[in-house]
Amino acid sequence: MMGTIIGAGIMGIPYVVAKVGLLPGLSILLVLGLAVMLVHLMIAEMMLRTRERHQIPGLINRYLGKIYKFIDAAGIIFGAYGALTAYIIGEGQVWATLLGDQSRPWLYSGLFVLIGVLVLFFGLKLVKLIDEWLLALVVIIIVVIAVLCWPAVNPINYQTVNWSNSFIGYGVLLFALSGTNAIFSVREVLKNREKMIKPAIITGSLLPMFLYALFAVAVVGVTGSATTEIATIGLGSALGSRMIILCNLFAAITMFTSFCAIGLSLKQMYYHDYGLPAWLAWILVISVPPIIFFLVSPDFIKVIGLAGAVTFGLSGVLIVAAYWRSKKHGDKSPAFSLPKFYSIGGLIILMFVLGIIYSLVTWKA
């Protein structure tokens, strides 16, 4: 769960928290985090209520129908390309900062694409090897950055409150909190120990929230209103050359691992779910994001915000609706059973729908 959730989305959290204020920002993080955790638990219960093995599109197909499966798949593809584009933007900015060449971030974005193309070509084993080693390193670096920031924290930076900016971070936070792709793996790992699935998902959803809050408190305390969209760029500039290296290597690592994981997942979906040849699936994954990169403004926050709001929001609406139907039409007794959550589920659906509308209306390429 943590390996899926913690990724490049963390880079944007301090920026959106700084825009709205520390306490309001952390409150929004908590509310959205709990909503996302509930959606994770709904997915798990649906899987346990269903005798056949299904991932999320399969569950939506079973309980809502084929057309909704295609709607969900379209949302997933849209979000994946948005995320991959955001990582291309972010990596270019990070490496331009590290190498002192801020005038040419597009050059480093291009070099990053070439590396990503090669990694995705070699596939699952290489991505898993990279992800296993770098996840542990990412968690350690978050804690180290928070400790190193503490002496430089200025309490004045925590006093800004601007509720009018509350919606700025909506999509970014959803992007950073989502771990839906991990639920199927959690079920497989805990086969014959299904009673552990619920606490595993709760713990795996709450720990990233804690690490995100820790990171946001540390960064905003140092950089305040000057917090940059990719948080580590501004933090490194504020704390000196050593922190520039540490912070931006951290950003580069998280975006690289996320690029590999999402790119591989999209490649496998094209190959396994739609029957495309492996070479064509690879080309579709690696060709579209660079095209989008040259068509949109190089705005990391806007891109991941739109991807998070549309993709998770759309899937979230369908997941809640499918969950309600699974309560009646499931063919297996689950290891745990949540309440029907009609009121809370309805509020979550309303929030997701309004979030999608807001993100699309306010988006400017």
Report yes or no: 110 and 319 within 8 Å, Cβ to Cβ.
no
Tell me: pLDDT of 124 over 60: no
Tell me: pLDDT of 33 over 60: yes
Tell me what pLDDT residue 131 has. 61
Query: Would you call 106 exposed, middle or buried from its count of C-beta atoms within 10 A (0-12, 13-18, 19+)?
Result: middle
Tell me: pLDDT of 41 over 90: yes
Query: Mean pLDDT of all residues in the chain?
Result: 86
Tell me: pLDDT of 330 over 90: no
Interval 255-260 mean pLDDT: 80
Tell me: pLDDT of 45 over 90: yes
Tell me: pLDDT of 225 over 60: yes
Tell me: pLDDT of 192 over 70: yes
Tokens of 244: 């520039």
3-state helix vs strand vs coil in the chain, percent to 5: 85, 0, 15
Please name the amino acid found at residue 56.
Answer: I
> Superfamily for 2-362?
Amino acid/polyamine transporter I (1.20.1740.10)
Tell me what pLDDT residue 275 has. 80
Domains of the chain by residue range: 2-362
